[in-house]
Amino acid sequence: MFPILRRHWALWAAWTVVASILLFANPWIPFGWPELLACIGSLVLSADRRTRRESLLAVGLPAIGLLAVVDAHDATVWRLVADWSVFLGAVLLGARAVDDQHELEELAGHLALGPEAEAARRALMEAIHSEIARARRHDRSLLVLSLAPMRRGGVDEGLQAKLLAARGVRETAMIVREELHRYATVAETGERVLCLVPEADLDAAPALLERLSKRVEAAHGLVLEAGVAVFPGDALAAEDLIAFADDAREQSAGPRPSAAGAAIAGDASD
């Protein structure tokens, strides 16, 4: 189990166990139905993960108050505050643990879609070959973008970091598709997003990258590392265009292999 997920489940379990012991053993607050509901009510989250924390709180808090009123023991303010605090803390910690598990399961499923990623890459290669042929006939240019979303604070190792990186790639691909609509072909290839932009030249690249970077950062808090290759200025073959764009992205902190790449790097970093 992932460390962050294990930690949240452990906090939930510790809170529930310690709170139950304190409510049961203390001499000031009687242990009755309100206390029992406060201690075990949050377990609904693990029994049915479709349950929302808001719904559980909306039902559980009034139910604890009602049970305290009809209980044979006195319903004091301190008793209600203690029961509600135990229940509220357990629900919030439990919902956090369940949400983390949902997210990691979703990301793990996304990483497992290797064949779909390979199919998307093949479709991209076919589109680049087709656009290169058309660009040669009509004396046009095209762009190939290599985009890698990075989380602030550097790169962490481990499977969890890879899962989060895969999520960033997916979110970036969605934004690129939204921004460019039908004009571009987009493929998620594991660690980065490749994008073909037909009939675009070097002059259009800085504004395009700036727009994409702002969207990605505003939506998901990711920093977008980008590299651009221009046909025919940087390369003439599909594989060479992708390699050039990847090299430009990886060398974003240093000089570009060509003047075209350098111009893109300078504008994209603004």
On whether the pTM is more than 0.75, the answer is no
Of 165, 147, 169, the C-alpha closest to 155 is 165
Considering the segment(s) 114-268 as one domain, its CATH architecture is 2-Layer Sandwich (3.30)
**At which residue do the structure tokens 């994209």 appear?**
268
User: How far is 144 from 193, CA to CA, in rounded Å?
Assistant: 10
Tokens coding 172: 């970036």
For all residues of the chain together, what is the average pLDDT?
Answer: 78
Condensed to tens digits (0 to 9), the pLDDT of residues 38-58 reads 888 888 887 776 788 888 888
Instruction: Give the relative orientation of helices 238-250 and 114-138 as an angle to the nearest 10 degrees.
Output: 110
**pLDDT tens digits, 213-259:** 888 888 777 888 899 999 998 999 999 999 999 999 888 644 434 43
Concatenated DSSP letters for 19-33? HHHHHHH-SSS--SH
The two tokens of residue 184 are 């571009």
pLDDT reported for residue 258: 40
Q: How confident is the model at residue 143 (pLDDT cuts 50, 70, 90)?
A: very high
pLDDT tens across 65-123, in order? 888 888 766 668 888 888 889 999 899 888 888 877 776 666 555 554 454 567 778 88
Taking the domains of the chain in order of start, what are their residue ranges?
Answer: 3-111, 114-268
Residues 171 and 147: their CA atoms lie apart, in Å, by: 12
d(CA 146, CA 194): 5
